[in-house]
Amino acid sequence: MSKKLRSKLVITPWIVWLGFLGILLLAGLAGGILVFWKGLVITNLTDLVPWGLWITIDLSSIALAAGAFSLCAGVYLFGLKRYQPIARTATFIGLIGYTMAMLALILDIGKPERFWKAVVYWNTHSLMWEVTMCVVLYLTVLLFETMPIIANFEWLRKRFPRIAALMGRVHHYAPFLAILGLGLSSLHQSSLGAVYGVIKARPFWFKPEMSVLFMFSAIVGGISLTLFASMLASRLTSKAKVNDALIERAAHFVGYLLIGYFYFRAWDVLSMTYTYDPGRSEGLGLITKGPLAFNFWIGEMLLGMIVPMILLLYKPARMNRFWRMTALLLVAAGVVAFRWDTNLTGLLVVMPYISGQAIAYTSYRPSWIEIVTGAAIIAFGLTGFSLGVKYLRVVDHSLVEGEHAKVQVEAVEPVVV
């Protein structure tokens, strides 16, 4: 009896991992309850910096979930069918990413219980409204897109075979869902940039390329995270099986995308802000030589773009799994740094509204409650992905799904007279 129990209680790395995530989740849950109870006063957000760490997590989760729409569009609309197994992983990561974004927003808004009002009361002028609507609709699309994946759940298939079969059949509508996903994602990924880009009062943000950059960086970061997560899972568990040649080819493509991203971002920061414009030049100063300089030069440019660009375009490095994984992780982290820098550059420069007065600066450092709850949101994402790998075969390139949206025509038997 005791022997049996001991064998059951054996501590595997899986248990340790889940235990670690569990602790983060519990701490975050406690922190979240504290936020709802005490209010946002316990954060380090102020009237001058009303958006901080949580908004960065929200923006980053959505950006890094963009692998879902980009890869689904590639597979189902542009005919790159061989990438279907990666698109499957991306879809699941997408669902997790958007759920993380929702969690961050619920913490961040002052009246979480009124969240639904954004769907009921429409201000079509507001980019925030547009983003909210798109995110809600896209989350619905993602739910449908992940149904065939959830149908893989062993327990569900045994207990409710009919429901599982029905969910599996949603796969036939994958191309239509991909079109919807592409439309909704293009809208809100770029609109998230425009949320900042339309703010005339803050000259560093007020520029049209914000939308383009948010969209572009999301595609680059989203695909990278999907590839990285697939590779990492395949190294850690036998439940995840990857076709390395497929990942290598996709990673090569990311390398080329990075050239475009590097060009856009360098142009955005260094050219668009070249002449003096009050507020804009001060914002430039913040990221080139101010408190955000390390983030920008090292986090975004060097480690987020240049290093991975070289690693992914130089064949020997790309063929080496360790360096490929490193490069892909760096890209994803660089996109997070971009979101953080963008949010803060506009807020830390305090524009005077009285002509002739000097521009002032403020500062922001997240409070421990923001960090603990933020870590829990990330732990939630990691838990979701880990469980998906173990129980839903989220990363399994050997899994072949049935052909989608093909009409089966029975051959007419030849009539022999």
Stretch that binds other proteins, among 44-52, 78-86, 231-239, 249-257 (CB under 8 A): 44-52
> According to the binding rule CB under 8 A, does residue 263 interact with other proteins?
no
Per CB under 8 A, 128 contacts other proteins: yes
Q: Is 238 near other proteins (CB under 8 A)? A: no
Helices (H), 109-173: 117-120, 127-150, 154-159, 161-169
Among the residue ranges 119-127, 143-151, 292-300, 332-340, the one whose residues contact other proteins (CB under 8 A): 119-127
Question: Does 351 engage in binding with other proteins (CB under 8 A)?
Answer: yes
Quick count: other Cβ atoms within 10 Å of Cβ 303? Answer: 19
Residue from 53, 100, 118, 247 touching other proteins (CB under 8 A): that is 118
Alpha carbon distance 300, 269 (integer Å):
12
The b/e string for 175-206 (b: 16+ C-beta within 10 A; e otherwise) is eebbebbbbbbbbbbbbbbbbbbbeeebbbbb
Residue 51 interacts with other proteins (CB under 8 A): yes or no = yes
Q: Is 354 an interacting residue with respect to other proteins (CB under 8 A)?
A: yes
3-state secondary structure of 32: helix
Q: Which amino acid is at 391?
A: Y
DSSP 8-state assignment for residue 198: T
CA atoms of 145 and 401, how far apart (whole Å) = 13
Nearest to 324 by CA among 258, 254, 395, 251: 251
Closest CB 28 distance from other proteins, rounded Å: 20
- Which C-beta is closer to other proteins: that of 50 or that of 183? 50
How many residues would you count in the chain? Answer: 417
Q: Which is nearer to other proteins, 14 or 361 (CB)?
A: 361
Per DSSP (E only), the strands in 263-413 are 349-350, 360-361
Q: Is residue 78 a contact point for other proteins (CB under 8 A)? A: no
Taking the complex as a whole, the smallest distance from the CB of residue 339 to other proteins amounts, in Å, to: 15
Q: Which stretch binds other proteins (CB under 8 A): 20-28, 35-43, 291-299, 408-416?
A: 35-43
Taking the C-alpha atoms of residue 244 and residue 200, their distance in angstroms, rounded to an integer, is 47
Q: Are 48 and 146 in contact (CB under 8 A)?
A: no
Say if CB 59 and CB 51 are below 8 A apart.
no
User: Cβ 25 to other proteins, closest distance in Å?
Assistant: 25
Q: Does 115 bind other proteins (CB under 8 A)?
A: yes
Which of 22, 77, 117, 245: binder of other proteins (CB under 8 A)? 117
The dihedral of CA 100, 102, 106, 109: what is its sign? positive
We find the least distance from the C-beta atom of residue 201 to other proteins, in angstroms, to be 3
Please tell me whether residue 236 binds other proteins under the rule CB under 8 A. Answer: no
Nearer to other proteins, 85 or 197 (CB): 197
**Phi and psi, residue 326, nearest 5°:** -55, -50
- The piece of 113-121, 144-152, 211-219, 397-405 that touches other proteins (CB under 8 A) is 113-121
Determine which residue in the list 5, 9, 10, 358 makes contact with other proteins, applying CB under 8 A. Answer: 358
Interface residues toward other proteins, by CB under 8 A = 38-41, 43, 45-48, 50-51, 108-111, 114-115, 117-118, 120-123, 125-129, 132, 195, 198-202, 346-347, 350-358, 360-362
